């Protein structure tokens, strides 16, 4: 029982570390390439680097688990989309909750309600491309079994 908990915790922490690492790598490339390339070429380059890195993660996951590539791609797609989407989704919720507590305790009225918006960072766009492509390819592959 404790092994499952430790494995789950290690997997969760490693997934978050990978997301943080991808963000740092993307930011570093952005700073280095800022002076040498135009912004549009740099953005497209970073999206392709992110896509390549995500596909490499899918290959590694497929190789380690010895699953079919498309099954691994579907699993990794769900995880990658969750990594990209959930922090941006829950951030406004926590900010609004903090604002509500501040309004209640200090009688300060603040009417700013933040709404979830997905960032257009190259890491997010590349990960969403890989994720949506993986989910759609799996649905298309297994569609005869579903019908």
Distance between CA atoms of residues 105 and 66, nearest Å: 55
pTM: predicted TM-score of the whole model, two decimal places: 0.62
In tens, the pLDDT along 45-89 reads 889 989 999 999 999 999 999 998 988 999 999 998 888 877 777
In tens, the pLDDT along 7-50 reads 888 998 999 999 888 888 878 876 776 767 777 887 888 899 89
Helix 69-106 to helix 122-146 angle, to the nearest 10 degrees? Answer: 120
Torsion angle of C-alpha atoms 127, 133, 134, 136, degrees rounded to 10: 140
Split into its structural domains, the chain has a count of 1
Phi, psi of 37 (to 5 degrees): -120, 160
Give the structural domain span for 78: 2-146
């Amino acid at each position: 029982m404790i092994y499952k908990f430790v494995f789950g915790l290690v997997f969760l922490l490693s997934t978050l570390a990978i997301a943080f690492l991808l963000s740092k790598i993307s930011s570093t490339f952005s700073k280095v390439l800022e002076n040498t390339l135009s912004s549009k070429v740099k953005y497209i380059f970073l999206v392709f680097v992110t896509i390549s890195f995500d596909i490499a993660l899918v290959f590694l996951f497929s190789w380690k688990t010895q699953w079919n590539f498309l099954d691994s791609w579907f699993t990794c797609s769900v995880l990658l989309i969750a990594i990209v989407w959930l922090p941006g989704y829950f951030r406004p919720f926590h900010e609004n909750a903090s604002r509500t507590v501040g309004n209640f305790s200090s009688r300060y009225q603040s009417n700013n309600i933040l709404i979830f918006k997905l960032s257009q960072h190259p890491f997010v766009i590349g990960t969403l491309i890989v994720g949506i492509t993986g989910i759609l390819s799996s649905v298309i592959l297994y569609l005869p079994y579903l019908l």
